[in-house]
Amino acid sequence: MRPFDEPRAELDDTSILVTGGTGSFGNAFIKAVIREFRPSRLIVFSRDELKQSEMQSDPLFCKEPSLRFFLGDVRDVNRLESAMRDVDFVIHAAALKQVPAAEYNPFECIHTNVLGAQNIVQAAIRAKVKRVVALSTDKATNPINLYGASKLAADKIFVAGNNMAGSVGVRFSVVRYGNVLGSRGSVVQIFRNMLANGIREMPITDERMTRFWITLEQGVSLVLSSLALMRGGEIFVPKIPSTKLTTLVKAMDAKAFHKVVGIRPGEKVHEVLISEDDARSTVDLGDRYIVQPTYPQWEKTRMITDIGTPVPEGFNYSSNKNAEVIDARTLRTLLQSANV
């Protein structure tokens, strides 16, 4: 699984804010920026003071002069505006992501994922930020659960944010991908904890179930390259492999086996990153797709039409029809390289 290295955003002497900066992606993104660039300010924005304290004491971060730690919630637009003052780039990774929790706590999900997205757009426009990249999910395509629906609404808000910005010049784009190997609360972590406790019978909701996979490293490199490539309004979708969940079980432990427990509320058998309806405005760039916005003001720039080609009629990008499928051995290698 290759990283998405080209093009690369130039972040030296810039000010960057990462919402959800103490989460799995935020932590990995901040490490990558510190390793590769010399930003003037690198702002960790999150609501968990304990995680911020732990991050500040980490040897990788404690001596980094550019780091700033802002306690705050994306539900608070005034706090966001304060944090975005003189910021060049915003990476929006904060979200409520657990499907069952969102189903049981719908108001909380909407306040963070939807109204939080609105607050990001409003604060970025008022602070005159240059570019905003928001993280999305495969569950936002043809959603059947509240988490997916909330992220679809957020995607629409960010795409429309380019209209709202007017002459201010802020540009908003979205990066949409599948399950992240090694992220907190993922099925990989759940299975790993069960194995650590001597449990080798893994619960699978459906033997046919397939999922897209991406590593944290890939997710970070995709965001960095999309930040450089974006013109505002695009949804960037990486080309990534997929597997059956039964393959994941064998990848984690050759002696493990599965039991079928039935589909949970709001769960799909297969995930979709690009639907047939989205395909009408999608171009193929080789290592990723771009779903272009359909509002009248959008101009299909030479940059995109020169390096990309429209996908064929009837195209869709789903985990069960993916041309790139990896076996248990390859997935095991990826898990080891991701330290999960």
The residue range of the domain holding 120 is 15-178+215-239+272-318
64 in Cβ contact with 42 (< 8 Å): yes
Average pLDDT over residues 74-90: 98
Sign, CA torsion 212/213/217/218: negative
Number of domains within the chain: 1
Tens digits of per-residue pLDDT, 222-271?
999 999 999 999 999 999 999 999 999 999 888 888 999 888 878 899 99
Which of 131, 138, 90, 113 minimizes the C-alpha distance to 237? 138
pLDDT surpassing 50 at residue 302: no
Which percentage of the chain shows pLDDT scores above 70?
95
Within 13 Å of residue 282, how many CA atoms lie on the same side as its CB?
A: 24
The two most distant CA atoms of the chain are separated, in Å, by: 60
CATH no. for residue 220?
3.40.50.720
109-110-116-122 Cα dihedral, nearest 10 degrees: 170
pLDDT surpassing 90 at residue 127: yes
Residue 206 counted as domain residue: no
Average pLDDT over residues 107-130: 98
Mean pLDDT for the chain overall: 92
Q: Is 31 a catalytic residue?
A: no
Distance CA(294)–CA(233), nearest Å, equals: 9
Residue 150 counted as domain residue: yes
Q: What is the DSSP letter of 21?
A: T
210 in Cβ contact with 270 (< 8 Å): yes
One of 31, 51, 139, 300 is an active-site residue; which one? 139
pLDDT surpassing 50 at residue 78: yes
pLDDT surpassing 90 at residue 171: yes
Residue 109 counted as domain residue: yes
Report the side by side order of strands in the sheet with 235-238: 67-71, 41-46, 15-19, 89-92, 131-137, 171-177, 235-238, 288-291, 282-284, 309-310
Residue 312 counted as domain residue: yes
Average pLDDT over residues 57-86: 95
Q: Name, of 32-46, 171-185, 258-272, the range with top average pLDDT.
A: 32-46
**Lookup: tokens for 200:** 């080798």
Residue 141 counted as domain residue: yes
pLDDT bin (cut points 50, 70, 90) of residue 304 is: low
pLDDT bin (cut points 50, 70, 90) of residue 340 is: low
Residue 207 counted as domain residue: no
Residue 7 counted as domain residue: no
Residue 97 counted as domain residue: yes
pTM: 0.94
Tens digits of per-residue pLDDT, 186-206?
788 888 889 888 988 899 889
Which of 32, 52, 22 minimizes the C-alpha distance to 223? 32
Beta strands in the chain (DSSP E): 15-19, 41-46, 67-71, 89-92, 131-137, 171-177, 179-181, 201-204, 210-215, 235-238, 242-244, 257-260, 272-274, 282-284, 288-291, 309-310, 317-318
Q: What is the DSSP letter of 325?
A: B
pLDDT bin (cut points 50, 70, 90) of residue 44 is: very high
Exposed e or buried b per residue across 67-76, where buried means at least 16 C-beta atoms within 10 angstroms of its C-beta: bebbebbbee
Rounded (to 5) percent helix, strand, coil in the chain: 40, 20, 40
pLDDT surpassing 60 at residue 217: yes
